[in-house]
A = this chain, B = another copy of it.
Amino acid sequence: MKNLLCLTLLLFSHFALAQSPESSTMIRIAELEISPEHLDEYLSILKKEAEASVRLEPGVICIYPMYEQEKPTQIRLLEIYSSREAYESHLKTPHFLEYKNSTLHMVQSLRLIDMSAIDPASMSAIFRKINP
């Protein structure tokens, strides 16, 4: 598995950068705080939603959920969509609507942060090393 994760991220960024602006990749970090009494239930629902999104939606490249070890009610998701259209489509899926409606009262705060990957051009040496 050495470097496979990062290579995949970089390869993905590489291909994404080659696309037109209209279909550009959307990278986001979602920051959520969950009420402690609902945490277990929330994690269970989130896992199902992330799994269904990646499995059913071609435009959902990744929804990777994590929690802070020292504050497990602090959830972070790395979300990558192939385009803004793919994200808008995601918001209308039954599994997302089910997740949203069933967890609304569990979420104490939500911050959605649009991110950009730092230019991966300098990583071309890695591609050449793996695929000389």
Spell out A's residues near B (CB within 8 Å): 1-6, 8-9, 11-12, 15, 27, 29, 43, 46-48, 50-51, 54-55, 58, 60-70, 76, 78, 80, 113-119, 122-123, 125-126, 129
Contacts and interface: CB of A to CB of B under 8 A. Distances in A.
A68 to B, nearest CB: 6
A61 B3 contact: yes
A5 B1 contact: no
8 contacts: A1-B15, A2-B61, A46-B118, A51-B122, A64-B117, A66-B115, A67-B118, A69-B115
A39 B5 CA distance: 27
A62 B120 CA distance: 13
Contacts of A4: 8, 11-12
Given A47-B122, A55-B129, A62-B6, A67 B115 contact: yes
How many copies altogether?
2
A18 to B, nearest CB: 11
A51 B123 contact: yes
Given A6-B62, A6-B64, A27-B66, 8 more contacts: A1-B61, A3-B61, A5-B9, A5-B80, A51-B122, A54-B126, A55-B126, A78-B78
A6 B61 contact: yes
